[in-house]
Structures are given as C-alpha cells and as structure tokens.
Amino acid sequence: MAAKWHREGQAKFQIGQAFYNSQHKFVRDLGVLAAIAEKQDRGSLRVLDALSGCGVRSLRYWHESNADYLWINEGNPEHSSLLQQNLAQAIAPEHCQITHQDAHRVFFSCYARRDYYDLVDVDCFGSAVPYLSSMLWATKIGGLMYLTSTDGRTLTGHLPENSILAYSAIARSHPAAQEQALRLLIGATQQQAATKGLGIEPIFSLFTGQTYRLMLRLVSKPRLTLNNYGFLAYCHSCGNYQTFSWRKLNNISCTCKDPAITVSGAMWLGRLHDPQRIERLIVLADQRGWQKIVKLLTSMKHEIDLPPYFYTLQEIGRRGKLDLPKRSHLIAALQKQGYQAAATHIDPQGIKTNASLESCIAIAKNI
Ligand SMILES: C[S@@+](CC[C@H](N)C(=O)[O-])C[C@H]1O[C@@H](n2cnc3c(N)ncnc32)[C@H](O)[C@@H]1O
Ligand SMILES: [Zn+2]
C-alpha cells in the first residue's frame, strides 16, 4: 500500500513512525508568522530545526516563511529516510542539511564554527530545562528561539522539589499556575542568558491547554531588573495575588483576616508578549485569512499590560457564592468601574485585571 501524504499549510509530507500532532498546527502557524516577520526585516532567514520529527516545521519555514537555509536535525536516525523523502522533493540540497545528532551537539557545533541561526526551533518533549542554556549557543544575537515545554506538573507547583532542582525557583500551586509556568520558563531562560551577558525579550508566550510555547528573542544585554524578575505571592485564604522583588521579601504579608500565603519565584514578571510584534503577526495572519490565529493574537495583545496573574470565574463564583457571570460581562463591568480588565488566552474562564478579588466579586454580584 502506498504511504499516505499529509498536508499542513504548504507542506506535504509523510509521518511514518515520527511524532506529529495535527492538533498543534496553530502552534506551527505562529512559528511560521514570526519567521515571516524576521525574513521581511532581515532580508534573509537561516533556521535550525533542532528536533524536527518528520520535518513539517522545516517544510513550512521553507515554503511559507521563505527561509533561505535550513539545518534539519532529528536525533532518531530511524527517521532518516522519512526526512530525506519529505525534504528532498521540496528543498534543493544547497539550501539545507539533514543530520541525526543530539540537539545539544548541534548547538555547540554552531558555536564552535561561529555559525549562528536567525531562528532556532526547539520542539522537545517533557522538560525544556536542558535546552534553556544550550540553545543560546546556536542563536544569533537578535535571533529567535521557539521553545516547547510539556513539564506542566513541575511548573504549576505539583512537584515543588523538582522545581527547585530544575529551575532554581519555587513553584507553588494556585489558580493562575499556568501563567506562572510560562513566567518561570522565561525567568530561567533570562537567567541562563544573563550568565553570558545576554538577555531575552519574549515575542509571545502561549499555553495551549497542555503545552507551553515560547517565542523568545536573544538580545545583547541582560534584561532582568528589580521590576521584572521577582516573586508571586498567593493567599489561599482571600484569593489575592501580590508581586514582590527580592528586596521586599521580608514584607510579604496579606491584609486579610487569616492569611495563608504561598510564594513562587523568582520568575519573569514583565510582559509575556511584545506589543509591536504581536500587531505585526496579527496583520500577517489576517493577510492569510487565519482568523483563529488573529483571534488568539488579539487576546494576547489585550493581556500584555495587565498584572502577572489572573482570577478564574470559578474562584469568583465559589468565594462570592454566586452563579458564574459570563466572562465578557464581568470584564465589561470591571472596565465600566475604571479597572483594567481583559480575558487571558491561558484559561477560557480566566480574567486579568488590576481589581482585587473582592472587587471582582462585588462587581459580579451586581451584574
Ligand atoms: C515533539 S517531536 C518533534 C515534532 C516536530 N517538531 C513537529 O512539529 O511535528 C521531538 C523530536 O525530537 C527528537 N529528539 C528527542 N530528543 C532529542 C535530542 N536530544 N536531540 C535531537 N532530537 C531529539 C525525537 O525523536 C522527536 O522526533
Ligand atoms: Zn489574604
């Protein structure tokens, strides 16, 4: 029986025994858009697809982002003929190389040859921790890294001992723990970059419901400051969050009757997304008629300048002993009262706002 050819975007490929999840097309769409913007700005684009699976990302960067050169690496040599077959028909040999090495070896060989890439794609399984440092060695200063992490249990506070070992940071559990996961990952990457005198700017930070995806730019100066790197305190008693810099750790307290505070961090407390880049990606997605992506990016745009946590409707309903209001109604009511408020892409029931939880409950009661 002839092997089945699949299509995604402009890529045509076979899957064979490689890992491929068609549900995550939108994650690859976002990568393609970010790469298009890079190519437009730089005039050329060299991509290192370090954990390529069947090569779908490379094919899409080639066809849709107009990449000039691709290094396609897949650690498992059993996927060699699959990759050859998928890529040979699409990309001329002078525009790509295919290897089967450990991704870390690839990164360090880039460094050894001073051969840095504009986009380094690190689509790993499980924890991204081993790559947070090594991927920096292959990335051009000013270039992008597209990182996956599926280490949700550790980052959301379900394995606090692991979090100390892996991230040198405390991760506790609370209703906004998936946002914390993105922030711990960014913070840990910032810290690795800072050891090299470099910094990170998040382009976008995405939680898909199961996995965490970060598009990060490597920049020439450390970005960590007292304002954007610190601790998140959550009071289990009243449900409020507060942020603290390391200088103020001795001030952690809560004004409620019976405080029960847990602290997570240090983590990134700055912006999850770059406002100008998000605008640009919205235009590019709209030009392609990718309305689902436009909607996602627009939601990201609205959450950019809000506090680094969110409240869930369930929490508001449970604590206020009220029927759950519609999220859009509560956001509109908060805004009418002069608060900043927006939906978060992270949780379909989550609201980001500078109002306290008590204010959210009081306003929800009047809807
Ligand atoms: C999540 S899959 C990649 C999926 C692909 N990027 C996509 O979008 O469909 C991760 C791939 O990395 C490979 N891999 C795992 N560890 C690796 C390592 N240390 N170095 C290189 N490749 C590795 C696995 O064999 C697997 O094919
Ligand atoms: Zn409290």
Whether the predicted pLDDT of 1 surpasses 70:
no
Residues 36 and 130 in one domain: yes
Checking 362-367 for CB contacts under 8 A at 24+ apart, the result is 363/330, 363/333, 363/334, 363/337, 364/316, 364/317, 364/320, 364/322, 364/325, 364/330, 364/333, 365/320, 365/322, 366/333, 367/325, 367/329, 367/330, 367/333
| pLDDT band, residue 286 (cuts 50/70/90) | very high
Residues 111 and 22 in one domain: yes
Residues 24 and 172 in one domain: yes
Residues 186 and 329 in one domain: no
| pLDDT band, residue 283 (cuts 50/70/90) | very high
In a domain, 238, yes or no: no
Residues 327 and 195 in one domain: no
What does the alpha-carbon distance between residue 162 and residue 160 come to, in Å, rounded to a whole number?
Answer: 5
pLDDT at residue number 2: 72
Q: Which ligand is nearest to the CA of 238?
A: 2
Cβ–ligand 1 contact at 58 (below 6 Å)? no
In a domain, 1, yes or no: no
In a domain, 367, yes or no: yes
> What's the 331 CA to ligand 2 centre distance in angstroms?
23
Residues 292 and 361 in one domain: no
Q: Which residue's CA is minimally distant from atom 21 of ligand 1?
A: 75
Cβ–ligand 1 contact at 123 (below 6 Å)? yes
Q: Which residue's CA is minimally distant from atom 6 of ligand 1?
A: 52
> What's the 51 CA to ligand 1 centre distance in angstroms?
4
Query: Which run of H or of E encompasses 119?
Result: strand 117-122
Instruction: State how many domains the chain has.
Output: 2
Cβ–ligand 1 contact at 53 (below 6 Å)? yes
In a domain, 263, yes or no: no
pLDDT at residue number 294: 98
pLDDT digits (tens, 9 = 90+) for 318-350: 999 999 899 999 999 999 999 999 999 999 999
Cβ–ligand 1 contact at 5 (below 6 Å)? no
Q: Cis before residue 11, ω within 30 degrees of 0?
A: no
Alpha helices for 43-102 (secondary structure H)? 56-64, 80-88
Q: Which ligand is nearest to the CA of 261?
A: 2
> What's the 254 CA to ligand 2 centre distance in angstroms?
5
Q: Which structural domain, as residue segments, surrounds residue 336?
A: 310-367
pLDDT digits (tens, 9 = 90+) for 190-229: 999 999 999 999 999 999 999 999 999 999 999 999 999 9
- Residue ranges with CB less than 5 Å from ion ligand 2: 235, 237-238, 254, 256, 259
CATH number at residue 176: 3.40.50.150
Residues 69 and 172 in one domain: yes
Q: Which ligand is nearest to the CA of 254?
A: 2
Residues 274 and 367 in one domain: no
Cβ–ligand 1 contact at 238 (below 6 Å)? no
Residues 167 and 42 in one domain: yes
pLDDT digits (tens, 9 = 90+) for 36-95: 999 999 999 999 999 999 999 999 999 999 999 999 999 999 999 999 999 988 999 999
SS3 63: helix
Residues 284 and 350 in one domain: no
Cβ–ligand 1 contact at 51 (below 6 Å)? yes
CATH number at residue 333: 3.30.56.70
Range 305-330 average pLDDT? 96
In a domain, 234, yes or no: no
pTM over 0.95: yes
Cβ–ligand 1 contact at 18 (below 6 Å)? yes
In a domain, 230, yes or no: no
Residues 95 and 11 in one domain: yes
What average pLDDT does the structure give for the chain? Answer: 97
Q: Which ligand is nearest to the CA of 241?
A: 2
Cβ–ligand 1 contact at 103 (below 6 Å)? yes
| pLDDT band, residue 179 (cuts 50/70/90) | very high
In a domain, 45, yes or no: yes
In a domain, 213, yes or no: yes
pLDDT at residue number 88: 87
Residues 285 and 344 in one domain: no
Range 141-166 average pLDDT? 96
